[in-house]
Structure 1
């Protein structure tokens, strides 16, 4: 499963959110000095009514265009790609601090409805992930009322494509136990978990990497483990916790393996998070390609390490997040150019390389292939498109 942000907007897409998540100054068209993404999407397959021009240009002088998550056709296209490359589905992100804003909520409702339709149309799974980041209140009704509204208006949990675990719909709650002075409490999180369990849901928690020992990115609180034991699935966040394949392998051996053992002892499932690389040069001014992708070696090192500690499932962060360059969907090696313009790319690899690699991760987890890096199988020019598809051997 992947994370699906669905938070990109463009002027004229009908959502009235201007250029959200493309431009630093959202009311102005993206262009040099006004951009917050480090990867540029490959729009070759998108139809004309899915493309929104910016003030950037490509090397050949053509206008650089972007997509909108408010465009139904685009969301359906993304879920078709999941089918094409053997990716099981997506957790659709829903920020709790936005559900009280009418425009943001309408946009998120639309993205979720389209994700639901795409999942049904293309045989994928979807689930709601509530991200508590940025929430300024302990009001237990905020998320609860939103979930009830989703059941009333879309009946999402009963949808045939909704992700189930042990016969119950999965709801993910992300952002529990982090040490960055979040204004909501563990008591609030505990109440929220209890409430979702009462609704008949399986509860998955997005938590800090060092939750078990309560160090570094995790709070030190005697209540922490008590709260986590109430859940069904624990998923520690790893972005930025390691930076090389060797570090990722050590993290799996020294941290994930013990996390898995703790979960086994407490009758919980363990869901490690993997990511392809990281860069937020245009977002905060950091170094470009801060955590290099190494042509897929970094991502595969994590996937293989997860398999070696007997993980049965993996969360890939993220499907579409070009902001921090963690996206795995189709991105271009021909990003915009110009004075002061800098973007990351896929290092000359095919635009669908990371979709294919993620599909191979599923095959590894199912025991269909070994853990050797399948680079040649993905990029070999001697294979046809059908032969290269991660689903071809399924």
Structure 2
């Protein structure tokens, strides 16, 4: 009889404990400020791109000069940060630059600070079938008022344009330039501000903010690298814990941007088992592969790494995003480096990555990047007639249209969604 009483008493205590935990969970969920759903409930089957949104002009109102166009404080022929010159014919608002075109006329540029620029970009996403973008927020910039004001303006424009054109957006915190644990509160406070002031995740169930596993998706970009970063895995763990568990601002899904060889603790990765423990706590891994291979043949070697990464992720119940990029060049930023360092080869290099990632079983794609003209990875429209003079700019082959990489990205999205068959060879060029 006493045995029965003990067991009954234990059962009651267990029931009370479970009830208390359930009440706490329901209370926390009720307090959270995110909408229950989104027009984009999952990253799966989507092709997304990274969105820098960091180029300014002196007259755009941001007070940042030729930010990210300039090199070492100067923007003039022979001194610029960019290797690609944008095709500007569709931007409503442009600014005269110090550069000259072949016909002697001045060359113009757009500013990301202008809402009209962001609107054009999201219109292109819709026209070409790109599902959306990750809005990069550089923690090293948003700790100061100038950077924070700029990126807030770009994000506000993106929120408007994403709803207008039915595209997904998500916040991607770039930890590059972070200090040690002192920057953990910077990121936490910024997320609180976005949730409170911009209502970034509370615009109703038809909102355009990207969810994953039924929760708002937030990305931490730059985790586990062995290049002597000042922040640690413990610092990142605090960020993850806040985003996932805070009773008001948490309840998020988290994606980590990792080194290429994160699984086997390879050449670019911190040799610490705590990295894998951290990965198992998040929702998605996102290995950064830009520059790790330079030809279609090089990529074949990486494809085997990717297949094993996918196997690890399935075994550990973590989702996987494949990163692809069209080419690479940062000669103007780093004059000693090769010009057109990783050639696009008429889109073959890009398509090889897209088609192989899908055939390997990747369910989500990340294109690096939408508007990155500093490192020559942009997929948006690029000028076929850039300025002439002391600075050299990469151009596509003569018969390749300015929108070729938007077109290829949209086709890859259709393959990912199984709307068209898997195609291993590069699609024929589409002419307007």
- How far apart in 2 are the matches of 1:374 and 1:214? 33
Kindly indicate whether residue 371 of structure 2 is the aligned counterpart of residue 320 of structure 1: yes
Select 1:271's aligned residue among 315, 318, 321.
321
Tell me the equivalent position of 1:389.
Answer: none
**Correspondence for 2:190:** 146
Q: 1:212 aligns with which of 263, 271, 274?
A: 263
5+ long unaligned stretches in structure 1: 386-394
Partners of 1:373 and 1:12 in 2: CA distance = 45
3-state DSSP class of the match of 1:121?
helix
Q: CA deviation at 1:261?
A: 0.6
User: Which of 343, 349, 352 is the equivalent residue of 2:393?
Assistant: 343
Given that residues 50 and 135 in structure 2 are in contact (C-alpha distance below 8 angstroms), is that contact kept between their aligned partners in structure 1?
yes
* Total equivalences in the alignment: 374
In 1, Cα distance between equivalents of 2:107 and 2:299:
35
Equivalence for 2:31? none
| TM value normalised by structure 1 | 0.93
Deviation string, structure 1 residues 248-277 (Cα, Å, up to 9, x no partner): 12211x211011011101111100100000
1:22 matched to 2:69: yes
Correspondence for 1:388: none
Residues 1:158 and 2:215 are matched in the alignment: no
Q: Which structure 2 residues correspond to residues 205-354 of structure 1 after superposition, within 5 A?
A: 205-252=256-303, 254-285=304-335, 286-338=337-389, 340-348=390-398, 349-354=400-405
> What is the Cα deviation at residue 246 of structure 1?
1.4
TM-superposed deviation, 1:158: 2.2
Ranked by relative contact order (alpha carbons within 8 Å, sequence separation 6 or more), the top structure is 2
Question: Pick from 179, 201, 210: which aligns with 1:136?
Answer: 179
> SS of the residue aligned with 2:217?
strand
| Partner SS for 2:169 | strand
Distance in 2 between residues matched to 1:133 and 1:341, nearest whole Å:
28
Alpha-carbon displacement from aligned partner over 1:118-139 (angstroms, at most 9, x marks no partner):
1000000000000000111212
Matches within 5 A, 1:29-68: 30-47=75-92, 50-68=93-111
Q: CA deviation at 1:25?
A: 3.8
Q: Is the 8 A contact 2:79 2:391 kept in 1?
A: no
Range with greater deviation from structure 2 (366-375 or 34-43):
366-375
Task: Tell me which residue corresponds to 2:238.
Answer: 191
Partner Cα distance (2:274, 2:96) in 1: 50
1:369 to partner: Cα distance: 2.6
Instruction: Write the deviation string for residues 204-241 of structure 1: whole angstroms up to 9, x where unpaired.
Output: 01000000011111110121100111110000000111
Q: Is the 8 A contact 2:352 2:424 kept in 1?
A: no
Task: Decide which structure has the larger Cα Rg and report it.
Answer: 2
Write the distance in 1 (CA, Å) between the matches of 2:157 and 2:396: 28
3-state DSSP of counterpart to 2:408: helix
Q: Within 1, Cα distance between the matches of 2:377 and 2:226?
A: 23
SS of the residue aligned with 2:415?
helix
**Offset at residue 2 of structure 1 (A):** 0.3
3-state SS of 1:283 partner = coil
CA distance in 1, matches of 2:72, 2:177: 20
2 CA distance for matches of 1:175 and 1:291? Answer: 22
Name the CA distance, whole Å, in 1 between partners of 2:179 and 2:64.
22
Instruction: Write the distance in 1 (CA, Å) between the matches of 2:202 and 2:174.
Output: 22
Separation (CA, whole Å) in 2 of partners of 1:146 and 1:352: 35
Question: Match for residue 11 of structure 2?
Answer: none
Q: CA–CA distance in 2 between the matches of 1:369 and 1:124?
A: 24
Shift of 1:374: 4.2
**What is the alpha-carbon distance in structure 2 between the residues aligned to residue 33 and residue 181 of structure 1?**
32
Unaligned runs of 5+ residues in structure 2 are 1-47
- Find the aligned partners of 2:361 and 2:427 in 1 and give their Cα distance: 23
* Aligned-partner SS, 1:282: coil
Between stretches 102-111 and 346-355, larger displacement belongs to: 346-355
